[in-house]
Structure 1
Amino acid sequence: LRANGRANNQQIAETLGLTATTVSTRIRRMEDANQLRVVAVSDFSAHGFNVLLRISVSVDGRPASDVANELAALPEVVAAHMVTGGYDIDMLVALHDFDDLSDFLLDKLSGVHGIRTLTPAIVVDIIKYQFDVAPIEGKA
């Protein structure tokens, strides 16, 4: 499914040397256990998002989790993480253009109470974008 999300159970079964029933049962079991979710993944630039921005955030005067939840609620934020190290929050932001960048940094983020510092970094090239969270490893 990772290689071809549109593959049907029969195609997967043929590739793996299993029956379609076995594949169906395993997929259903993984879905029921919340180990697998089949979703469509869209391309940023295909939807007009030409500015991808990583922003590291330091928080002061408010719980970092509250700030992170408020930031995550912004539609431009496609990922937000609580992190260890020099920052409290790391987020990925998708914007249409540099006018949106200015509006986002100066208007939206300035209204979020508790942000001490922001360290934005514009993504200049995506080397790897693996949207599945957990790697699937085969058993020996």
Structure 2
Amino acid sequence: MSRRQLDGLDRDIVQWLSRDARISNRQIAAELGVTEGTVRARIKRMEEQRQIRITAVTNIDRFRDASLAYIWIEVERTHQVRAVARELAAIPELGFVGEMLGRSDLLAITMVRNNEHLAEFVHSRIGTIEGVRRTESTLGVNFVKHDYRMARIVK
């Protein structure tokens, strides 16, 4: 299956879905001046080609008893970065794992109850992975803006 680039109509559909994934295909079609079948087919194609995934997103503002923890990870050797990243990605508590440019090799993000919970998690789950040289953790304390629709800026 060849993967095609998103065109303007695809991006418009995604923008509507990013505001409210429960919006009907009929309503999107009416807003964009196309048929409901066109919207349905395009959404199906984008899902099949893994260009989009429609999912529910937790509103982190609702978790007053939890903090978002950013765990910056340095790896011992450059050739170990991908292997460490794969091991991190297998940890269910981590919602994000990414290879980074700059001071740290990897970034992992999770939710924790408090400082002690973060320390226990880092020491028992991350520090034990072969190739991890050093970690540095920071806690998000006040989120001014949290928007999972960031992909819309990429064209």
Identify the TM-score tier after normalising by the shorter chain: 0.7 to 0.9
Residues 30, 136 of structure 1: alpha-carbon distance in 2 compared, 3 angstrom cutoff: farther
* Percent identity for Structure 1 against Structure 2: 30
Matched, 1:96 2:113: yes
The alpha carbon displacement at 1:52 in A equals 0.8
RMSD over aligned Cα atoms: 2.5
Partner of 1:129: 146
The alpha carbon displacement at 1:132 in A equals 4.2
Partner of 1:117: 134
Partner of 1:60: 76
Residues of 2 paired with 1:35 and 1:58: CA distance?
31
The alpha carbon displacement at 1:46 in A equals 4.2
> Number of paired residues?
138
Residues of 2 paired with 1:37 and 1:29: CA distance?
11
Structure 1 segment 11-90 matched on structure 2, within 5 A:
11-44=27-60, 46=62, 50-61=66-77, 63-90=80-107
Alignment gaps of 5+ in structure 2: 1-16
Matched, 1:9 2:25: yes
The alpha carbon displacement at 1:25 in A equals 2.0
Residues of 1 paired with 2:63 and 2:132: CA distance?
30
Question: Does the residue aligned with 1:135 lie in a helix, a strand or coil?
Answer: helix
Alignment gaps of 5+ in structure 1: none
TM-score by length of 2: 0.75
